[in-house]
Amino acid sequence: MGVANTGEDGRDTVDQGVGEGQAKRVEIRGDGEGDGRRPEASLRFRSAPSPNRGGVCRIPGDVRGIVVHSTEGSLEGALRTFAMQGGVSAHYAIDRDGTVVGIVPEGDVAFHVAAFGNRPALNRRRPTWLVQYDGRFSAVNACTVGIELVGFARTGFTEAQYSALGAMCAGIAMRWGFPADADRVVTHASLQMDRSDPGDGFDWDALWGAVRIASPGGIGVWSEGDREIVEVVRALGADASGVRGWIERLGAHEASSKSGALEDRA
- Cα dihedral 46, 6, 67, 131 sign: negative
- Domain membership of residue 249 (yes or no) is no
- Per DSSP, the three-state class of 161 is helix
Above pLDDT 70, what percent of the chain?
A: 59
Q: What size, in residues, is the chain? A: 266
| Domain of residue 128, residue span | 4-217
Please state the φ and ψ torsions of residue 162, each to the nearest 5 degrees. -65, -40
Q: Average per-residue pLDDT in the chain?
A: 71
What does the alpha-carbon distance between residue 29 and residue 229 come to, in Å, rounded to a whole number?
31
C-beta of residue 56 within 8 angstroms of C-beta of residue 139: no
Distance (Å) of CA 190 to CA 9, 183, 198: 41, 11, 10
Give domain status of residue 246, yes or no: no
Structural domain includes residue 85: yes
Phi, psi of 234 (to 5 degrees): -65, -35
Q: What's the whole-model pTM score?
A: 0.68
Confidence at 18, pLDDT banded by 50, 70, 90: very low
* pLDDT score, position 234: 47
Q: What is the CATH number of the domain that holds 130?
A: 3.40.80.10
Q: How many domains does the chain have?
A: 1
Tell me if 16 is assigned to some domain.
yes
Kindly tell me if the per-residue pLDDT of 93 is higher than 50.
Answer: yes
pLDDT category of residue 151 using cuts at 50, 70 and 90:
very high
Asked if 254 and 248 count as a contact pair (C-beta separation under 8 A), the reply is yes
Give bridge partners of residue 119 from the DSSP assignment: 116
220 compared with 27, residue with greater pLDDT: 220
Judged on CB neighbours under 10 Å (0-12, 13-18, 19+), 200 is exposed
Residue type, 124: R
Those residues whose C-beta lies under 8 Å from the C-beta of residue 10, and which sit 6 or more positions away, are none
- Which helix (H) or strand (E) covers residue 46, if one does? strand 45-47
187 within domain boundaries: yes
Residue 143 three-state SS: helix
Quickly count helices (H) and strands (E) in the chain. 6, 11
Indicate the range of 8-17, 171-180, 194-203, 230-239 predicted with least confidence: 8-17
Tell me, yes or no, whether 66 lies in a domain.
Answer: yes
Residue 100 lies in a domain: yes
Backbone angles phi, psi at 52, to 5 degrees: -90, 90
How far is residue 233's CA from residue 245's CA, in Å, rounded to a whole number? 12
Instruction: List phi, psi (to 5°) of 148.
Output: -100, 130
Residue 149's DSSP bridge partners are: 70, 94
